Amino acid sequence: MANYRIAPSILSANFAKLGEEVSAVINSGADFIHFDVMDNHYVPNLTIGPLVCEAIRPVTDAIIDVHLMVEPVDRIVPDFAKAGANIISFHPEATRHIDRTIGLIKEQGCMAGLVFNPATPLNYLDHVLDKLDLVLIMSVNPGFGGQKFIPEALPKLREVRKRIDESGRNILLEIDGGVKVDNIAEIARAGADTFVAGSAIYSAGKDSDPHRYDTIVSALRAELKKV
């Protein structure tokens, strides 16, 4: 079985007890903590900033995977690096100099990712794939949680998987948007190895589970074993 990673998005967590929610999903078998940053400018919503990242950093040793849906990008990158982010990803439309922003993220000691919205072409990868640690394909339009998966993301995943494999580099291929038990296997077959899931995980918590989310994380893993 391939090395798949499940990355719960805390956007769908109970913020009244966020530290507990972060610990619970990791103890339930998740791998990354996905951190959705929206600025009410690049996307039509306002979420969380570096102080929240700093607050959850002592709670877990898991990788904190920060997805910046902000514009401009460069100003806030050092703040998230200082707050404990491990991966910082951004949208090419949100910066004037993509190569420079990638360099800034790496200078801050973080892994760098580039994010592609449903209508964003992949040709940016022609110039920077060799510098990336992660490519994130959005299977919804960014800005809100709980949206339905856009099937057109699947051929996009296949194309990026081909590019990554041909490069010979160890680059994560992440999917974000509408991932759930009944489609995660199909998404994995298209080439994704890292799966962001927000409402699909946090809405499925069970008080009877030892860590609240054991059942749903196990169900996602069971589907991935079928690939």
Query: Which are the catalytic amino acids?
Result: 36, 176
34 carries a ligand binding annotation: yes
Query: Is 49 assigned a ligand-binding role in the annotation?
Result: no
Beta-bridge partners for 196: 7, 176
- Separation of alpha carbons 129 and 171, rounded Å: 9
- Known binding residue 29? Answer is no
With a CB cutoff of 8 Å and minimum separation 6, the contacts of 176 are 9, 34, 67, 136, 137, 138, 139, 140, 196
Count other Cβ atoms within 10 Å, centred on residue 163. 18
The reply, when asked if residue 167 is annotated as ligand binding, is no
67 labeled binding residue: yes
Q: What share of the chain is helix, strand, coil (3-state, %, to 5)?
A: 40, 20, 40
Whether residue 109 is annotated as binding a ligand: the answer is: no
As a whole number of angstroms, the distance between CA 145 and CA 142 comes to: 8
Residue 182 annotated as binding site: no
- Is 176 annotated to bind a ligand? Reply is yes
Output DSSP code: residue 120: -
Characterise 124 by phi-psi region: left (phi > 0), alpha (psi -120 to 50), beta (else). alpha
Residue 193 annotated as part of some ligand binding site: no
* DSSP line for 160-206: HHHHHHHHT---EEEEESS--TTTHHHHHHTT--EEEESHHHHTT--
Confirm or deny that 146 is annotated as ligand binding.
yes
177 in a known ligand binding site: yes
- Residues in the annotated binding site for substrate: 9, 67, 143-146, 176-178, 198-199
- Residues in the annotated binding site: 9, 34, 36, 67, 143-146, 176-178, 198-199
